[in-house]
A = this chain, B = another copy of it.
Amino acid sequence: MLESRHVEALRLLLGEKGILTAAPDLASYETGARYDRGQAAAVLRPGSTEEVSAVVAYCVRHGIPLIPQSGNTGLVSGSTPDMSGREVVLSLDRMTDGFALDIDNRSLRAGAGWRLSDVNRRLEEHGLFFPIDLGADPRLGGMLATNTGGSRFLKYGDVRRNTLGLTVVLADEAGTILHLASDLRKNNTGVDWKQIFIGTSGAFGIITECVLNLEPLPRQVATAYLVPRGDAEVMPLLRAMEERLGSYLSAFEGMSANAISAALNHVPSLRNPFERGEVPAYVILAEVSRSWAPREGEQSLDQVLEAVLAEIWESEAAPLADAFVGPAHEMWALRHALSEGVKHSGRLIAFDLSFRRGDIMGFCARMRAELPALFPTVRICDFGHVGDGGVHFNLVVPKDDIVAGDADFERRLRDFVFKVAVEDFNGSFSAEHAIGRKNQPYYDLYTARNIRDLAAGLKALLSPGALGAARFG
């Protein structure tokens, strides 16, 4: 509970609807959309950059720790308060004032509280979209603070690549507002400060507004399932596709048999697309897309994809055991069901890893070889973004297993997986969810001392106040 003098002062700054203190009102802000649970001292809901500045200044001056919260859809406890009941949630959910579309510039200036789905719904009539494709439906501020990538990174890149500018409030005694909200694509006139706030979990400042690059909406899409002959054929297959499809290729997603089976079991309406229902060990979902409407005299994208697959099929390397083009919505429906399917197949311990692309299959093979002896009841249900090196390395234990929900077991499992991923494969322990409380021990462990010291110095320079769930200082 926040002291009543603070509640009164903050209410003066934000008005009645700007602060919540009653337990039932707090509940939804204390619970992650997918995981996680904490206790908030209060929830602040500013409606403008100036209000954010005012309350941040107040809280820093009074030593009140703030947790910025956006869509709250992350996986690493980055946007929920801890269990102390001392932390105040600063929600961006009312930060939806601005929505300035610049069609000539293909850019959008918007408040950080906008939901991704709402942004794209509004942009549709203009033939544009913000090209980050995610299973969840986050708000922009959180997407920026985690630098999400998603399934079409291969073509469009991550949030960082698609951000032109930001407005940020620093956690200092003045609640300093940094105007970094350029609409320019080319601008090299000093330190590109916005980069510091992207992907750092809100610890260095609160993003209140952003200017985003938009892309022409795809108007033609074709998809195929590709079954590589073996692990060693996945990279030749990717290279062959990139060589033959260039910027048409918009997704190259890998799905393990265990993940596919979990989805098919969980969502009975999904059609099993494989011959005799036998799920192959590893399946690639490849997507090609382009932004124009079909034109006369032009091959359809299905035809293009068929032709490319035929070429690859007959090539000397012969990396394919099977391949078929199919309806995009159906093929993506299975892909999108993986996450929920896996989650429902037992107690899930999720990892968001990334590797050099050529190391993905080797890492998974190593895990298949070593995990069973060390953690016998664990099932590997990996899937991921092979085209950009991202792996959703999901481990599941039966719900009735003695280790399910055991914190010590989970810690040992995490320690082992991260050790192999980071130390042996030079991979990343957080591809697109940033730090949060969950990844904090691994940030502390795997970040070089001089880099951590510099981060602490930068934190002191920018935002000395207690801000965010991640600790850089």
A contact residues vs B (CB 8 Å cutoff): 102-107, 127, 146-147, 149, 153, 155, 157-158, 160-161, 176, 178-179, 182-193, 195-196, 198-200, 204, 216, 218, 235, 238-239, 242-248, 290-292, 295, 297-299, 303-304, 307, 354-358, 385, 388-390, 426-435, 439, 442-443, 446-448, 450-451, 454-455, 457-458, 461-462, 472
Contact = CB atoms under 8 A, between A and B. Distances in A.
Contacts of A304: 298
A188 B448 contact: no
Q: Which of the listed residues A218, A246, A299 has the most CB atoms from chain B within 10 Å of its own CB?
A: A246
A441 to B, nearest CB: 12
One complex includes copies of this chain to the number of: 2
A178 B447 CA distance: 12
A-B complex: 6 closest residue pairs judged by Cβ atoms: A104-B358, A246-B291, A195-B195, A247-B247, A186-B431, A187-B428
B153 A183 contact: no
Contacts of A146: 188
Given A189-B446, A191-B472, A243-B292, A105 B356 contact: yes
Given A292-B246, A426-B183, A191 B458 contact: yes
Contact of A184 (B178, B246, B291, B354): B354
A456 B457 CA distance: 13
A412 B30 CA distance: 59
A356 B183 contact: yes
B307 A297 contact: yes
12 contacts: A105-B356, A105-B357, A147-B188, A158-B186, A186-B354, A186-B389, A186-B431, A188-B428, A188-B434, A191-B458, A192-B196, A246-B247
A428 B246 contact: no
Contacts of A354: 184-187
A290 B185 CA distance: 23
Contact of A247 (B190, B191, B290, B385): B290
B198 A192 contact: yes
B185 A388 contact: yes
A3 B243 CA distance: 56
A307 B106 CA distance: 24
Contacts of A218: 246
Nearest to A247: B247
Contacts of A183: 356, 426
Contacts of A299: 297-299
B432 A186 contact: yes
Contact of A239 (B103, B161, B189, B439): B103
A429 B188 CA distance: 8
A447 B182 CA distance: 13
Nearest to A289: B246
Nearest to A442: B189
Q: Which of the listed residues A355, A356, A430 has the most CB atoms from chain B within 10 Å of its own CB?
A: A356
A375 to B, nearest CB: 24
